[in-house]
Structure 1
């Protein structure tokens, strides 16, 4: 219902595209540049006549920042996997593009790692036609695709599946929706309770969220995750917030990430 309500709200605005995020996802501190690179790749793939450099187009100035809305339906920026094979990728247009803030190939989980290895890619992401995109951590939609999702999957229907992400997968896999997957993903689930889990707790249906040491694990396929608990400082602690920002910028300039409290206190960063 949360996804459907978000889609209805989007259609009540005059926005041409939207990015739907689940509330318990992590993303890199370098997300801004990653989003721009991904948008550039999508335009290059789907809109050959679009501006060739990011300096010629900005998110706020052009409704086609994500390529013309008439050329795509769903862009999977966050997922738990897309089990596409190299053969599937080769069957459709695809594009790879550099990302200096991608995790090391040895740290990327399959199947994304398998795809990158198959095409001899490192320090790069791939944008390919979706095959089996599971989990709706983060996905972009157009006005047309949002309306189509609501009309097609607004109710379970006879023999329907209650899992929203499975219905979205079926749209891309079985019904030829124009879906594209970023591998590895830009957003991934982070252990911990979500707002929905907090509501479920009051109704007695909460299954429990990750707590304790589990919260400290790096998010899958995310480098320099923004949801790292050691990066968060109380809003009232102005001095602490400025100090943390300085530490993060210093680490980022050296191509490193702060990943623990000890590293933050000692001014050390992980290689």
Structure 2
């Protein structure tokens, strides 16, 4: 009798969680093609690192999304940057970098070097009150061959690990004609831009560009994409639910980018150790120049897999404004550009462990996007990169 009662309670809890939360649409899920399996917890890289200062208000949502989708994120501990640190980063002549952009730049360099105490952040309550591991080595000396670096305000689709990354990695291996590792021959690339704010170029340039095109049904319909992305894909002759991996052309924004040990060393010592004379507005402008002008071997997933959430950026909070690209402009809408079912959606967020366990199974593992039937038509929302 006792076992029957427990089974009944479990059934009631599952029914409540499924029908009691504010989701009404039938679950929608996607499966991988034959021969393709879900990526591991670090998405096929040696580590997934987040650029995040201590006490960042963005960490809780980042960690929730990681926990929901089974992604293991490590946050290298950043020192408290001083005026002297900022001064050392600035060019001697013609500096253009703002303090906010300088702090972000230093955060990326810290992740590329990756040393000191590290927090492994897959806790059920999303807190970093305790250190679970202490490392005293740099990424460049760690033995790890690759790392994916994310900014702490990025969002991604709930099927990132189970569908999207496996499809992109498979296409990338095909493009480079290499199965040497999950991400092909590491000597053939230096940066893979999986998150950016639009690597957009002309149709004429696309004709001779190395690329691999494939179907990805986790993408939103074209009409629901950012208007610039929609126009770009249509200009290239792309239809619904098509993605590609290609040689980078204009990969602005560093929402999510992969590096190898060799390229991390090159970026942190040769390319972006400090602002060049004449000035650079931001770290991402400098890395764009590396891909566009300096012969770095860079590739981009298009549309992107990571995009920043529509919330005020920390750079803007420091600078009290945005740069001329508008890349940091805050939005009030609860949607992430070019992401069909964002893992950071406020509809998913919960501090209740039982609900979280249910969501990890239904949303993270099975890929069911449980949408509120009262949600506004996303195609009408004004997305601005």
Give the TM-score range, shorter chain: 0.7 to 0.9
Residue matched to 2:172: 42
CA distance in structure 2 between the partners assigned to 1:80 and 1:113 by the alignment: 13
Residue matched to 2:353: 238
Residue among 148, 166, 187 paired with 1:19:
148
CA distance in structure 1 between the partners assigned to 2:350 and 2:305 by the alignment: 24
Structure 1 residues 157-213: Cα deviation after superposition (integer angstroms, max 9, x where no partner): 32231410000111111112111111110000102356x56xx97xxx3649999x9
What pairs with 1:244-255 in structure 2 (closer than 5 Å)?
Answer: 244-245=359-360, 248=363, 252-253=367-368
Equivalenced residue count is 238
Equivalent residues of 1:82, 1:112 under 8 A apart: no
CA RMSD of aligned residues (A): 2.8
Residue among 26, 31, 37 paired with 2:160:
31
- Which runs of 5 or more structure 1 residues have no equivalent in the other structure? 51-61, 264-269
Q: Given the superposition, is the C-alpha separation of residues 135 and 210 from structure 1 closer, same or farther in structure 2, using an over 3 Å criterion?
A: closer
CA distance in structure 2 between the partners assigned to 1:132 and 1:250 by the alignment: 34
Equivalent residues of 1:77, 1:182 under 8 A apart: yes
Residue matched to 2:183: 66
What pairs with 1:189-204 in structure 2 (closer than 5 Å)?
Answer: 189-192=308-311, 196=314
Residue matched to 1:229: 346
Residue among 91, 108, 122 paired with 1:3:
108
Equivalent residues of 1:84, 1:111 under 8 A apart: no
Q: Which has the higher helix share?
A: 1
Q: Given the superposition, is the C-alpha separation of residues 206 and 259 from structure 1 closer, same or farther in structure 2, using an over 3 Å criterion?
A: farther
- Which runs of 5 or more structure 2 residues have no equivalent in the other structure? 1-105, 115-138, 322-327, 379-385
CA distance in structure 2 between the partners assigned to 1:186 and 1:242 by the alignment: 25
Residue matched to 1:55: none
Equivalent residues of 1:89, 1:128 under 8 A apart: no
Equivalent residues of 1:19, 1:139 under 8 A apart: yes
1:133 aligns with 2:268: no
Normalised by the length of structure 2, the TM-score is 0.56
| Structure 1 residue 238 displacement after superposition | 2.6
Equivalent residues of 1:251, 1:257 under 8 A apart: no
CA distance in structure 1 between the partners assigned to 2:363 and 2:217 by the alignment: 17
